[in-house]
Amino acid sequence: MDIAEAEAATGDGSRTVPAGEGEREPHPSDSLRTFGAVVQALREHAGLSRGELAVAVQYSRHTVESVELGRRMPDGAFVERAEEALGNTGALRRAARHLSRGEVGLAAWFRRWARLEREAVSLCTYECRLVPGLLQSEAYARAVFEGTIPLRTDEELEAQLIARMERQRMMREKPNVPFSFIVEEHVFRRRFGDTEAMRGLLDHVLERSAPRNVTLQVVPLDAGLHACLDGPVQVLETPEGRRLGYSEGQENGRLISDPKQVSVLCHRYETLRSQALSPKDSRDLLERLRGEL
């Protein structure tokens, strides 16, 4: 997102308030913090105080401080004036092209992976805890969020739900991108809500996994021990052909970029593919589970 786009709209559809005209960003993004650090470094290199830079850019000292700390989205005028005041290196203009707001409703440790997902040319997901987010029904996602600790406010819960449903759009908008899912059978057997909610979940999963570019395989209960027992994992391929991995646990997530580590994850995933049910048998199993409700 460049600076013009950043001024036009936020991730949640509300109007962006230029720096100096509103409150601090409710969800500071990594790009805002990085931009602010660049401003601060250039200011200090130039030997200017925040007050002196504020005079040069015609904004308040408080606004300069908020931008440097990643708390405000700078507008185009701020970027241009700061660029001129700090040496015209071009660094601020280039950095401003990558500015984006914090993704409301997404955990801080997941945001970078979510951005990579949107650009990926393939995505593989193994899950042993719950239905993968890209396959969750709205009722299931709501139940998951309602059960988290600490408890969320109604506003936070709705933001998370909107973000989860919005994230699923990429599966509909990218019919040429392969999506592969391997999920443990017990995940689909774990009850939530009433019978109607369970049927709704299974119907949703069957619908989402029906397109030709989506593959869903279930690891049956009697499969025994297998290659991915270390926990859930995701692997994607970037448009440049680079493979990256992601692993998530309690209150954290880890982006894995080391080629050797990613290669191990890919090998484990491919091995598990051969141990899981075929896509057809997996759909048959989900349909039987639905019929048992």
pLDDT of residue 114: 81
Query: Looking at residues 259-266, what average pLDDT do you find?
Result: 96
Which of 97-106, 127-136, 185-194, 236-245 is the least confident region?
Answer: 97-106
pLDDT digits (tens, 9 = 90+) for 21-75: 444 544 556 678 888 999 999 999 999 999 999 999 999 999 899 899 887 888 8
Greater confidence (229 vs 102) lies with 229
Q: What is the pTM of this model?
A: 0.66
> Rounded CA gap, 35 and 113, in Å?
20
Is pLDDT above 60 for 1?
A: no
Confidence band for 109, pLDDT divided at 50, 70 and 90: low
HSE on the CB side for 138, CA within 13 Å? 8
> Rounded CA gap, 131 and 74, in Å?
39
> Average pLDDT, whole number, for the chain?
85
What is the maximum alpha-carbon separation in the chain? 72
- Give the end-to-end CA distance of the chain in Å, rounded to a whole number: 46
Nearest CA to 188 out of 287, 292, 286, 280 is that of 286
Q: What six digits make up the tokens of 212?
A: 């030709």
Query: Looking at residues 214-218, what average pLDDT do you find?
Result: 98
3-state secondary structure of 154: helix
Query: Looking at residues 174-185, what average pLDDT do you find?
Result: 96
